[in-house]
Structure 1
Amino acid sequence: MIYPEWPLSLPHAQMEGDGSGLMFRDPIETEMEGGDLRRRRRPGDDVMRLRFSFRFTAEQANTWASFVRDDLYYGTARFLMPVAIDGMPCDTRVMQMIGAPNFDGRSGSLRMYSFEAWVFPADMVPVE
């Protein structure tokens, strides 16, 4: 499968203090007749949920908007992006946005954007 790639003109390093998230998905919970709660793994538990924040120039913001709208079909498609996880070197991962990306206002001449995404395991990245 061919995934759109994060535009080279955009930074991929998260802003300082971001990159927070969940190590894996919440378990499936089922209430039992006796009142107990049964919890079990979900398929795809090795998927992480991370939050990303970026400061873009006006030109980068236009590239970002075009990428999300056109290449990701309004944020619904999976894509490839270099990601640093837990201080490890950047590794390209398959990603998928959760919900719509946020516009957080301006910081001087820069515009701030953020989004949450599922980060899939490295073995899901297509081999060229």
Structure 2
Amino acid sequence: MPLPVWPATVPHKPLADTGIDEPHRGVLESEMTAGNTRSRRQFTTVIGTVPRTIPMTTAQFLTFKAFVRDTLSHGAAEFEMPVWDLTGCPVRRVKLREGGKYTANRMGNKIHVSFSLDVWDL
């Protein structure tokens, strides 16, 4: 089944050009019965976490809000979106962190929507 796609009428470029801030996940540590710990890499395809604050008009925000409510909260948590990675804006598979939480603050005639994404390669 194809992944949902970021709504075309909603901007994807953030206020600041921030790239992926966690290029690799840290190691997992497990305590062993002898008292020492064992480090191993995490088995995940997540290539990083990206914080985003995107200015939107009221109409764009309503489209974004409907996308989160009607698409992402009904089981399709992952979607495709262009993500700035300091070299360009390739389309990546992403997921809103913290169960899809976001904040919205009105700044003049725009609504600044902030959230964090887990980013995967397609």
Taking structure 2 as the reference length, the TM-score comes to 0.85
Question: How big is each residue's C-alpha offset from its partner over 1:26-67, in whole Å with a ceiling of 9 and x where there is no partner?
Answer: 321112345433211111255211111111111011000001
In structure 2, what is the equivalent of residue 26 of structure 1? Answer: 26
Q: Give, in whole Å, the separation in 2 of the partners of 1:83 and 1:14.
A: 9
CA drift of 1:25 comes to 2.1
1:31-110 alignment, distance < 5 Å: 31-44=31-44, 46-73=46-73, 77-85=77-85, 87-99=86-98, 100-110=100-110
Q: Give, in whole Å, the separation in 1 of the partners of 2:22 and 2:69.
A: 26
**Matched residue SS, 1:61:** helix
**Matched residue SS, 2:97:** strand
How many percent of aligned residue pairs carry the same amino acid?
A: 30
**Matched residue SS, 2:61:** helix
Q: Give, in whole Å, the separation in 1 of the partners of 2:95 and 2:108.
A: 29
Q: Match of 1:39, as an amino acid? A: S
Q: Give, in whole Å, the separation in 1 of the partners of 2:23 and 2:67.
A: 27
Paired residues, what number? 121
TM-aligned CA distance change 1:57 to 1:70, over 3 Å? same
Q: Match of 1:97, as an amino acid? A: L
Compute the RMSD of aligned alpha carbons.
2.1
Unaligned runs of 5+ in 2: none
Q: Which runs of 4+ in 1 moved over 6 A?
A: none
* 1:11 and 2:6 matched: no
Moved more, 7-16 or 44-53: 44-53
Unaligned runs of 5+ in 1: none
8 Å contact from structure 1 (residues 11, 54) kept in 2: yes
Q: Give, in whole Å, the separation in 2 of the partners of 1:108 and 1:118.
A: 29
